[in-house]
Structures are given as C-alpha cells and as structure tokens.
Amino acid sequence: MDCVVRNARIWTEDSTRPWAEALAVRDGRIAWVGDEAAVDEFIDRRTEVIDVGGRLVLPGIIDAHSHLRLGTGADAVHLGGALSLDEIRRRIATWLDENPTAAWVYGETWEYGAFPGGRRPRASDLDGATGGRPAFLLDLAVHTAWLNKAALDALGITKDTERVPFGVVERDPSSGEPTGCINDFATLGLSRDGLAALKDVVPAFSADAQYKRVRESLNMATRFGITTVVEPQNSLDDLALFTRARDEGTLSSRVVAALFHPVGTTDADIDAFDEARRTYTDDWFRTGPIKLYIDDTIEPHLAAMLEPYANLPESSGQTYYTHDEFGELIAKLDARGFQCFVHAIGDRGVRTVLDGFEHAQRVNGRRDSRHQIVHVEVSTPQDLKRFGELGVVACMQPRHCRPEIGDTWKCNVGQHRWRYSWGMRTILDHGGVLALSSDWNTSEMDPLLGLFSAQTRARLDGTDAWVPEETVTLKDAIHGYTMGSAYANFLENDRGSLTVGKHADLAVLSNNIFEHEPAALLDTKVEMTMVGGTIPYRML
C-alpha cells in the first residue's frame, strides 16, 4: 500500500461497518478498511505509516455550498459583529492604518443591526471615514453593496441611474438621489456582466484578486478537513480561476462549480453551459449544476413571503419569476438533464420552487434529478414534508440558524413564523435529504462549528437555544456534511464515506466528538486532512 492510517477510531459513514481502526490506501483510493490487528500485512518498506494515536477519523467533509471567490482576509475590512455605525467607522480606520496605500476601501459582512430602527445605510454614513477613498462594502449575505459618494462617482452612478450591471440602484424617495445601497448584488453583481463592469474599477474584483481569494479559501478548506467544495455560483469566465489553480498545483480540495443562470439567461448561454459540463468532468474539478434565484433575503424585506412581513405589512417581498414562468424554466432545464440549485429564502419562495420541481416531474417524468433548494430559511410544515415526497435536496447552513442571527431577521419574519425556520429536523423526519454547508463567507467555513449549531441551535457559549425542536443528532449532522452532500451532488460512488474503492479523502480530529457533549466541538481541531491519498494539511 502507498500508506496506511492506523491506531484510529474511524467513523466510516458506511452502514455495513460504521466503525474501523485502520485503513490502507493505494493509488489515491481506499483499498482496505478493518481492524488494527490486521493492518501490518499491508505495510512494506515503501508504505507511509500514519499512526494517529487513537484519534477520530471522519470522511472528508463535503461543503455543499461555499463561495470560494469571496472572503479576502487582510485585503478586506471585516464588519461582521459591528453593531453600530461608530464601530464600522472604527474598523475602517484601523484597516486604513494597516493598509495606507489602498486605493479603495473594500469591506464585507456588514449587518443591518448596526443601523437603529431598521433603517438602511447611506452613502453619507461614510463621510469622512475613508480618507477620500471610494468604499465598496458588502453585507453579510452579499446581497446589498453599500457605497460612499466617492464610489458612486467612480462607478458613474447618478440621480439618473436606475440600474447598473451589478445591481439595482436604491434611490431616496424624496430627492431621487442614490442612497448608496445597490440591491440584488448577489444576483447581478456576481454574474458575468456584473463582474465585467467592476473588475477594472474596483480592485477587489480583478481576476488576480479573485484568484488570490480562491487560493486562500482552498487552503482554509483543507485546514478544516474539507476535501470537496461546491462553489455555487460561477459564470463561464470564472472557471479559469479553478483551472489555473489546478494547473499551478493549488487546487488542494476538489471543486464542483455550479454555473449561474441569472434572469435573462439565453438559450445560447444554456448551450454553453452544456458544453462546459461536458468539458470539465474529472474528480478534481467539474461543472454541471445550474444556480438560480427565486427571491432575495429577509433583512431588506425582499425574500418572498406567503404573508406580509411582521413589521412591514404593505410588503410580502417578491420573486424574480412568476410562479408559472419559473415552473416552465425548471421544466426546460430539467428536460436537458441539468441539475438545478435554487436559492430560496422566504416561505413563498420555497413553495414556488417546490411547485416548479413538481411541475417539471409532471411534464418530463420523474427522474433522478436531485434538484436542490438552497437555504430554506422560512417554510411551512406542509412544504418541508414535500422535500422527501419530491426527492428534492435541502442544502442548508447550520450556522445561519444560530441565535445571533440578529433582531432584524427575527423582527421582519415575526415570531409566529420562527417555529419552522431552518426546519432541518422536519425535513429529515419526512424522508428528505440534507446537504450541509457553510455558505462561506456569510458564515464561518469551519464545519465543526456547523456540527455544533446543527445539534444545539445555541450560541457558542451554549445559551439561548433557538427553535431547538429543529436540532438534529451528531450522526445526522455528520451525514449531512459527508454522504448527504455526496448524494446531493452525484458523488456518492466515490466519496462521502470511508469505503473500499472510494477516494482516500479524510480528516483526523483532535477529539473524539462522539464521546463528548456538543460544546467539545468548539475545542476540537482538524489535525490532518488527506485528499486522494495526499496530505495538504498536517499538524500531527
């Protein structure tokens, strides 16, 4: 064998043999799994022997939804948890002290809770805070960009501008002037046209800056035991970032890249998507799924709700397509054999997508499509049951349902709709499949934090469990990050469990999390990651 992992507690995710003590690898795949007493027969002078000292070994994590092209480390002002405008301005000042030559201030993860009374940020809120530099700040969900006056000017946004390639310009209802908020950034700004309009103006969106983010995100993934990442939203132009990483030897985790289908996508675009999925098909990088949106997010009252928002009774949000338009679109894509990932946040958005998938089954016949709804933040018990009935995968993010989600979300939704928010337990109980993920960089990439939140829905100090009725067990959560995500992406035949014949993708943990309360996850680290028999990260 090329290597063996021994003296281990191996959770295999294989129902025929859940636990093992050793495994052997040949040519990047698992060749044997068994007991410690039998491993010596697989060792010769060429074999690398990895004694993990009784540590827990898990199948490599499959992060089913992670934006590798977002998250910029020291290149961005990080605004998560800054719950006042003064704190935002202070963080910008600190970042400028550390980056005095920066031409732009680029920031991420600002939260609506920083603005009292639920108001929206304004360009004038940044007056005097950036030393005259233009500022481009993305919210926690990457759905709203907040610009100062210098950035509006640099991007040519005036009183007469209603829309730009990267978003919809929010304007003051009294003066008509742009407020500084650009809405629909995730659906427009991360599109091919949106990035083309930004890359030569805002340094953070240049090809080199994006490639740097991809490399940093991939390195982070391997440190967290993530061996496959599903990058959920890419234009055809973005694929070059991943082929470059593969060519330069920095593709340390396997990548599945979904292709973005914004409103206005043409039949010619779909033909090009079809060509791409035939071109990129190997075990390290492949394309194929199509990413769509049905609605926006809760915080700006834009997600599509069945009933009006609790604190904005004149609005129930909106969908990007009518009910019938969406059903016909899904039927067309389904007929061509595409798997669809659909972002749906509000309960009307979720229902519209489920109805669309059901329509496609009536029109085309039921097939093994494994279409996914991503996020499923608010739903009804009736619709949560339909995931299992229709064979639709729920791609969900445990860290999104933590109590720290914020008062803005909770107030907008209203307490009467909290019970079935992020209804993971209900979906499982009715035969649905969960594919768990981080949604980096809207939440931490670390899957151990995700395992904690899936089990507790509590703060990291263990308090204030929120809707505990929807928690899942540790085994369910691990399954969601391994075999659930593998199944969701048609990968179950070669990853997701530590089974003979599958890729030797695994993670070694510092604690046996099966033997401790969930809080132990917060002190647990990944000490080694193996991908295809190679070891890109090792602290043992």
Q: For residue 208, what pLDDT is reported?
A: 93
Which candidate, 172, 90, 80, 96, places its Cα nearest to that of 132? Answer: 96
Tokens of 140: 């926690």
What domains are defined for the chain? Answer: 3-54+501-538 (2.30.40.10), 73-141+144-183 (3.10.310.70), 289-488 (3.20.20.140)
Non-local (6+) Cβ contacts of 395 within 8 A are 64, 65, 341, 372, 373, 374, 375, 435, 436, 437, 488
Distance of CA 432 to CAs 136, 388, 466, Å?
40, 4, 22
Q: For residue 70, what pLDDT is reported?
A: 87
Phi, psi of 90, rounded to the nearest 5 degrees: -65, -40
Provide the pLDDT confidence category of residue 404 given band limits of 50, 70 and 90.
Answer: confident
Provide the pLDDT confidence category of residue 308 given band limits of 50, 70 and 90.
Answer: very high
Q: For residue 117, what pLDDT is reported?
A: 80
- Is residue 295 within 8 A of residue 304, CB to CB? The reply is yes
Torsion of CA 492, 498, 499, 505, to 10 degrees: 70
Where is pLDDT greater, at 70 or 313?
313
Q: For residue 469, what pLDDT is reported?
A: 97
DSSP 8-state assignment for residue 418: T
Burial 18-52 (b: 16+ CB within 10 A, else e): eebbbbbbeeebbbbbbeeeebeebeeeebeebeb
Which candidate, 60, 30, 58, places its Cα nearest to that of 42? Answer: 30
Which candidate, 67, 56, 60, 61, places its Cα nearest to that of 481? Answer: 61
Distance of CA 437 to CAs 108, 219, 345, 444, Å?
20, 17, 15, 10
214 forms beta bridges with none
The Cα 222–Cα 535 span in angstroms is 9
User: For the segment 448-460, what is each residue's pLDDT rounded down to a tens digit?
Assistant: 999 999 999 999 9
The Cα 121–Cα 179 span in angstroms is 8
Tell me whether residue 508 is exposed, middle or buried, using C-beta atoms within 10 angstroms of its C-beta: 0 to 12, 13 to 18, 19 or more. buried
Distance of CA 398 to CAs 357, 465, 480, Å?
24, 13, 10
On the question of pLDDT at 166 being above 90, the answer is: yes
On the question of pLDDT at 129 being above 90, the answer is: yes
The Cα 295–Cα 309 span in angstroms is 14
Torsion of CA 444, 447, 448, 454, to 10 degrees: 90
Tokens of 69: 């092209």
Instruction: Please compute the mean of the pLDDT values over residues 284-300 and round it to a whole number.
Output: 96
Tell me whether residue 270 is exposed, middle or buried, using C-beta atoms within 10 angstroms of its C-beta: 0 to 12, 13 to 18, 19 or more. middle
58 forms beta bridges with 507
- Tell me the residue type at 94: T
On the question of pLDDT at 406 being above 80, the answer is: no
Q: For residue 47, what pLDDT is reported?
A: 98
The pTM (predicted TM-score) of the whole model is 0.95
Non-local (6+) Cβ contacts of 91 within 8 A are 77, 78, 79, 82, 107
- Is residue 262 within 8 A of residue 236, CB to CB? The reply is no
The Cα 135–Cα 305 span in angstroms is 32
Which candidate, 334, 389, 409, 386, places its Cα nearest to that of 364? Answer: 334
On the question of pLDDT at 88 being above 90, the answer is: yes
3-state SS assignment for residue 364? helix
On the question of pLDDT at 72 being above 80, the answer is: no
Q: For residue 74, what pLDDT is reported?
A: 79
Task: Taking each helix axis as running N to C, give the angle between helix 447-456 and helix 474-481, from 0 to 180 degrees, rounded to the nearest 10.
Answer: 140
Q: For residue 236, what pLDDT is reported?
A: 96
Percent of the chain with pLDDT over 90: 95
Question: How confident is the prediction for the chain on average, in pLDDT?
Answer: 96
- Tell me the residue type at 46: R
User: For the segment 417-431, what is each residue's pLDDT rounded down to a tens digit?
Assistant: 999 999 999 999 999
Q: For the ranges 113-117, 171-175, 381-385, 519-523, which has the lowest average pLDDT?
A: 113-117
Q: For residue 539, what pLDDT is reported?
A: 96
